[in-house]
Structure 1
Amino acid sequence: MQSNTRKQIFMPFLFGLLVALGVFIGRNFFSAPGGKSNSLMIYPQANKLDALMNLIEEEYVDTVDRMAIEERIIPEILKDLDPHSVYIPAKDLNKVNEELQGNFGGIGVQFSMQNDTVMVIQVIQGGPSEKVGILPGDRIVAVDDSIIAGKGIATDDVMKKLRGEMGTDVKVGVLRRPNKDLIDFNITRGSIPLYSVDVSYMVNETTGYIKVDRFAQNTYQEFLTALAKLKANNCQQVIIDFRGNSGGLLDVAIRLCNEFLPAKDLIVYTEGKSQKRQNVHANGAGTCQDTKVVVLIDEFSASASEIFAGAIQDNDRGLVIGRRSFGKGLVQQQIPLPDGSALRLTVARYHTPSGRCIQKPYENGVDEYYEDIYNRLEHGEFYNADSISFDDDLKYTTKNGRTVYGGGGIMPDIFVPRDTSMITNYFVHLRMNGIMYRYALQYTDNNRQKLEQFTTAKAIKEYLDKQNLLADFLRFAKDKGVAFKQDEYNISKAQIDIELKAYIARNILDNEGFYPIFHEVDDVFQRAVEEASNMGS
């Protein structure tokens, strides 16, 4: 009895001593300085990233901005996925979406910086500036009573001043020749359309041409309007130019394709790890199923442009002319995040009707992925189709049994190399320094009244052909510091002449003036016209 009583007294004391020792050891050997508990020891986390961020936020020696760290970390994570999965910060989302939405809040002018002054090149029809009386040739020298002329202000900064929330007002001070006093205009910012169909016109009696710059929300309706204009002028075959078109909305490309394909023809299918195969077929309601079609592509045609070209090619519906396209066959889904930012995540690959995935490899990282264009150039691909090698394991057949290849871009049916026959160092210096563009602006400004009487590119060119344009331009170029080189000028003369006239015509008639003149030295376009004409015969 006595021993049991001693044990009963001693055991609680021993237990208490052990507890006290445990607390002492825990505080002195497993705690952070200052007596705080180690977060990793006491907080079970959902994942390592949360654990790491919590640890830094609570235990790091200095105060940190957690949000700023996350803004830097997220893009780094996405780099290990593919080149087209991207994070869009909240502050940039509206700007990024503008091109796809097709409008923004602005005053409705196209301008150029000339002699450190904003000169209005075009006034958008129906826009806020046209409504108050802004004219091409006007110089905007002040915005909201702040002088911007002669201040070395960047183009982006000018745009920031002129753009803004729709419905807000901006005051601009305009200098209009021959007046010497400023004219003040109060402009209410409005929705400004961003057109994605650059131009449409009849090349000859039966061949039409449409240039599509991007695939945005308004592209389909613009395209139908362009087609209707051409058909009203007896268009029987159409050239659709996707050169330089980097893509956009997948559904818009599908709707454009649908205009040319008969019912049940496969347009495209998409498939991913978490995305079951989805086939998209033509519905037979297209308005151009009997219209012959030629598609132009180049090394900068990507994504939706490649869907269209691949569908036309694989269904043997028309000809694809130009050079091998970029090779972007990944489908992105834009996912909004709680703070107003967004994630564009690759969720599937798209395949042409024959089964080709035109996505080029990206396993070696983003830098090498985008350097592929330069590698193609150095390898000679832009100048010689024979320099392109194809993998027999990626061989496919079109609807009529022709062989096509996957593995990176759409290879055209007819290859047209880059034309460098008129390119010299003298010409490159003129272009790199913007000399031709600057001369065209000055010439237009000095001769606007004469030029504005003409309503077609053809009429403007006929007028300019009678002027002593080149001699005047050479003096201008020399004054701007570009030394004259007779031998090189003789080689580049025709190219310089056409580009000058095209730029001047654009200053008067926008793209309706530019392209019909510039196409005279465009080999890909000329070959397309030849092939389209043969289709019609």
Structure 2
Amino acid sequence: MNEQHKNTARQIYLPMVLAAVLIAGMFIGRITNPSGNGSSGQRLMLAPESGKLQTIINLIDEQYVDSVDASKLVEDVIPEVLEGLDPHSVYIPPKDLKAANQELEGNFGGIGVEFSMPDDTVMVVSVVSGGPSEKVGILPGDRIITVNDSVIAGVDMPTNDVVGMLRGDIGTKVNVGVQRRNRKDLIDFEITRGNIPMYSVDVSYMVTDSIGYVKINRFARNTYQELLSALAKLKAHNCSDIIVDLRGNSGGYLDIAISMVNEFLSKGDMIVYTEGVNNPRQDVYANGSGSCKDIGVTVLIDEFSASASEIFAGAMQDNDRGLVVGRRSFGKGLVQQQFSLPAGGALRLTVARYYTPSGRSIQKPYDNGVEDYYHDIIERFEHGEFFEKDSISVNDSLKYKTVGGRTVYGGGGIMPDVFVPRDTTDHSDYYYRLRETGTIYQFALEYADRNREELSAFENVKTLKNHLDQQDISNQLIEFAKTKDVKYHHSDFQRSKNLIDLETKAYIARNILDNEGFYPIISEEDEVLQKAIELIQTNNLEAVLFENQSEEIPAEITAEN
């Protein structure tokens, strides 16, 4: 890649990276909650009249010249107190606590649909099997026009507001008016909200006759059981190697990560250890009961793999159990425990650091505050780390040894054994414009809905993809894009044609077969996954693992300080 092209790619790509960093930073900061004992934490008792802080609040409440809301003062002060600690010690106000816990507990009360909102109308994309909506007869493609007495179609309503109207306590009822294709009148449904699972294993399938693939989006309360089901499914297909995809996974429960790692390690292998000033060191070892001790494993990570994802990848790497492929992970080596507060809300407080089996703390520095902490990923991008392995900065004083004698590094995320750069050679301005405006997704949704009866006849992704390959998808997308004010650019389209075509078909397949349709198609352009498959098929795993056992920096992560 020449310098001019790199600069152009980075100029185009930087806004997307900035947006991704902002979203991921907020998510990692709020949702990660590795609790060693798996509980919601001890109740933090605060004596109502103790300490200077409480005294000041009381004096303001009782003596200040104007009336004040003392409870609001407390709410405002708590984040200020935590700001000087670390980026992951956070206060969760009472109004946000339920939603924050739902992300990790793995379920919520709702009607059991996934929806999109093209043209300000709620359209059902998929229906949870066995869920409340399926039981009353709601179908993919239905438009929800009314919820109880409110018309929501054609109204500029935030997605979160719609979610708030459809979700609710289990057992409560909600009335929805649905418009169905080819029917003029609304269909009224009374739905009793039920327990809706939030799946953390996005997909599991065989990428080749012998290699299985599992994509995990977080380490929630139900993730371990989901992984066991996925592994059983893959082993039933005579899987000899498994690729565990943790890219974009910002973490979750520590005990769940430990249980998952245990499935792959032999008895006595260290998984992780934790230690803090007020929490004595605790070593955790595999107990030998794992179901995949004899199956090859490769872990995929990227710059948004954090916390529990790094525990998993670090354990595989330090025990020389398998390769880590991709790009340097986020660098979160802190353990939080959640404490309930007397007046509602909760405190997720950092109580320990975790260390990989070799003794590495992979926590990146946070001395300069939260903003600089999350800005680190942007600096990596600008420094060229996403594109060239030689741009990865490592601290040469933080060398550690794996079980097999390989050199690994601490102090800033998990370094991959095999670095795979972002490939932007087929990215163009026209492609980015299609992505930025959501045009590809909207077209795929409309195409799937318009052809749902025909497409639903295909029972697997292979036959569906073969059918889509015979359709004039690209030209239809181009014409659709023009209606969304995305001007066609011929040379850009030719450069990105394969990528645009593949993404469009993958999103169409998702609307018909869910993730079982999406991932097998999109994986054809997934350079990290394809590299992992290549390493397994060419038997290069062991060669890469043990080609560097000296004091020198491993070839795959050579860098300048």
- TM-score, with length taken from structure 2: 0.87
The Cα of 1:121 is off from its aligned counterpart by 0.3
Q: Which residue of 2 aligns with 1:271?
A: 275
Residue 529 of structure 2 is aligned to residue 533 of structure 1 = no
Partners of 1:402 and 1:110 in 2: CA distance = 46
> CA-to-partner distance for each residue in 1:433-471, whole Å, 9 max, x for gaps?
000001001101110011000111111110010001111
Instruction: State the AA in 2 paired with 1:295.
Output: V
Partners of 1:454 and 1:219 in 2: CA distance = 30
- Is the Cα–Cα contact under 8 Å of residues 237 and 536 in structure 1 kept in the other structure? no
Secondary structure in structure 2 of the residue aligned to 1:201: strand
- Where structure 1 has 5 or more consecutive residues not aligned to the other structure, the ranges are 1-44
Partners of 2:187 and 2:279 in 1: CA distance = 59
Q: Which of 293, 301, 304 matches 1:300?
A: 304
Residue 214 of structure 2 is aligned to residue 207 of structure 1 = no
Q: Which residue of 1 aligns with 2:558?
A: none
Residue 368 of structure 2 is aligned to residue 364 of structure 1 = yes
Matches within 5 A, 1:356-395: 356-395=360-399
- Is the Cα–Cα contact under 8 Å of residues 106 and 166 in structure 1 kept in the other structure? yes
Identity %: 63
The answer to which structure, 1 or 2, has the higher relative contact order (CA under 8 A, 6+ apart) is 2
Q: Which of 259, 263, 266 matches 1:262?
A: 266
The Cα of 1:508 is off from its aligned counterpart by 0.4
Partners of 2:538 and 2:285 in 1: CA distance = 29
> CA-to-partner distance for each residue in 1:508-537, whole Å, 9 max, x for gaps?
010000000000001001001111223499
Q: Which of 75, 81, 85 matches 1:77?
A: 81
Q: Which residue of 2 aligns with 1:501?
A: 505
Q: Which residue of 2 aligns with 1:225?
A: 229
- Is the Cα–Cα contact under 8 Å of residues 292 and 535 in structure 1 kept in the other structure? no
Partners of 1:500 and 1:348 in 2: CA distance = 45
Residue 253 of structure 2 is aligned to residue 249 of structure 1 = yes
The Cα of 1:46 is off from its aligned counterpart by 4.5
Secondary structure in structure 2 of the residue aligned to 1:271: strand
Partners of 1:536 and 1:217 in 2: CA distance = 35
Structure 1 runs of 4+ with >6 Å offset: none
Partners of 1:496 and 1:525 in 2: CA distance = 19
Partners of 2:397 and 2:276 in 1: CA distance = 21
Q: Which residue of 1 aligns with 2:552?
A: none
Partners of 1:502 and 1:148 in 2: CA distance = 29
Q: Which residue of 2 aligns with 1:57?
A: 61
Partners of 2:396 and 2:200 in 1: CA distance = 37
Number of equivalences: 493
Instruction: State the AA in 1 paired with 2:90.
Output: V
Secondary structure in structure 2 of the residue aligned to 1:277: strand
> CA-to-partner distance for each residue in 1:108-128, whole Å, 9 max, x for gaps?
000000111100000001110
Instruction: State the AA in 2 paired with 1:122.
Output: S
The Cα of 1:145 is off from its aligned counterpart by 2.9
When the two chains are superposed, the root-mean-square deviation of aligned CA atoms in Å is 1.0
The Cα of 1:50 is off from its aligned counterpart by 2.4
Partners of 2:457 and 2:59 in 1: CA distance = 72
Q: Which of 126, 135, 138 matches 1:134?
A: 138
Secondary structure in structure 1 of the residue aligned to 2:538: helix
Residue 120 of structure 2 is aligned to residue 120 of structure 1 = no
Residue 458 of structure 2 is aligned to residue 454 of structure 1 = yes
Partners of 2:387 and 2:152 in 1: CA distance = 45
Q: Which residue of 1 aligns with 2:46?
A: none
The Cα of 1:132 is off from its aligned counterpart by 0.6
Partners of 1:470 and 1:328 in 2: CA distance = 42
Secondary structure in structure 2 of the residue aligned to 1:328: coil
Instruction: State the AA in 1 paired with 2:306.
Output: A
Secondary structure in structure 1 of the residue aligned to 2:139: coil
Q: Which of 301, 305, 314 matches 2:318?
A: 314
Q: Which of 98, 101, 107 matches 1:103?
A: 107
Q: Which residue of 1 aligns with 2:165?
A: 161
> CA-to-partner distance for each residue in 1:239-279, whole Å, 9 max, x for gaps?
00000000000000000000000000000000000111100
Partners of 2:187 and 2:536 in 1: CA distance = 51
Partners of 2:319 and 2:91 in 1: CA distance = 36
- Where structure 2 has 5 or more consecutive residues not aligned to the other structure, the ranges are 1-48, 542-561
> CA-to-partner distance for each residue in 1:222-249, whole Å, 9 max, x for gaps?
0000000000001000000000000000
The Cα of 1:385 is off from its aligned counterpart by 1.0
Instruction: State the AA in 2 paired with 1:486.
Output: H
Secondary structure in structure 1 of the residue aligned to 2:413: coil
Q: Which of 461, 482, 486 matches 1:478?
A: 482
Partners of 2:146 and 2:63 in 1: CA distance = 52
Instruction: State the AA in 1 paired with 2:208.
Output: N
Q: Which residue of 2 aligns with 1:332?
A: 336
